[in-house]
Structure 1
């Protein structure tokens, strides 16, 4: 009788973590990233790693084993924020009718995302290849949302991925208060925003091309490299 390939693979990897351990590690990592986002927003990048560990409910040693420096943690947070936007974009395209994709994307972003971290990292952290690759993935995912939204007259024809970034940055502004309450307030802006964009899309009115935000400009702004 032959050897089951999957069983042989598991036997060849005796140290492979059990599924429950993997889920626990992912949950801990998410807790760390959320804590880092909150602490950096409250205290800036000078906040000690111990404050992040305490907020996340993990040991400082465990935190340093996963992220050897605050810069490494900050970069992981940037990548997580962009990859989460990619996930929200893909889910929105796959799960709802095409004419609802743009509204669903914005609603999911408000409910679930880490939010952009412009004020936290600007100028303090360089752009390693992993961050630039995540930015490319996000641009491509947003372009897919844009393509659907343009086709169904949800946004003007000259809107692109950078316009969507500008919208979500403003939607997730730094309002004080309980996050759930802030999200409830912000959702009141969604319908007027979406309605206005639909009117602009249907009118075919030309915009000032020179005023359109460019992707490279946004990357420079987010990295703190603006002159």
Structure 2
């Protein structure tokens, strides 16, 4: 190889990596849109939506299950990043409410509601699951110490709040976002309201069964 050829090859490599990264972003964004609308949609619909060839998609994601797994795992990582960012706020109540607002805006829980049971989780996600549990516990602890959090609210109740917001879905994304924020404001008021909550909170693992593969 000549002295001039090697730098050319080195300069070309970042370009290929950049294109691959762009394709991956397109694929994941398309997969989110396609599978939230119809979890049983074929993987070819994702390639068409992303504007990439089916062979390019399969090189990155060998199966639909792998694509669904990546999509949901990325959602959990986003959730954890927002939780850890919230913990930097010294105001425990503001930390919790700001976290809920950002997660609702990111629409992370729609992935859980629509895609749970469409793939088999593997052990690679366990560190993120533990990270999520620890951050959630700390957010609730600090909110309780602020004196603003309603008695009886648990970490599991956060999931109920977020899933209630994600259930709102209209054809207009902007209107959906507005209504989700409106409902969240009502629910946050409930998190600070006095009085006992009816019924026990969700038990550990009570929703875990939905991650079992659904019948085809």
TM-score where L is the length of structure 2: 0.80
What residue in structure 2 maps to residue 38 of structure 1?
33
What residue in structure 1 maps to residue 109 of structure 2?
115
**2:64 is the alignment partner of 1:70:** yes
CA RMSD of aligned residues (A): 2.9
1:57-101 residue CA offsets vs partner (Å, 9 max, x unmatched): 322222111110000011111111111110111122225743311
1:96-145 residue CA offsets vs partner (Å, 9 max, x unmatched): 74331111111111222333334533434222112344333222222222
Structure 2 runs not aligned, ≥5 long: 1-6
What residue in structure 1 maps to residue 24 of structure 2?
29
Change (3 A) 1:88 1:174: same
What residue in structure 2 maps to residue 213 of structure 1?
202
Structure 2 distance, partners of 1:23, 1:136, is: 32
1:164-205 residue CA offsets vs partner (Å, 9 max, x unmatched): 1111111111522222210111211233222221123xxxx4
What residue in structure 1 maps to residue 121 of structure 2?
127
Count of aligned residue pairs for this structure pair: 206
CA contact 1:37–1:114 (8 Å) conserved in 2: no
Structure 2 distance, partners of 1:104, 1:197, is: 13
Change (3 A) 1:139 1:29: farther
Structure 1 runs not aligned, ≥5 long: 1-10
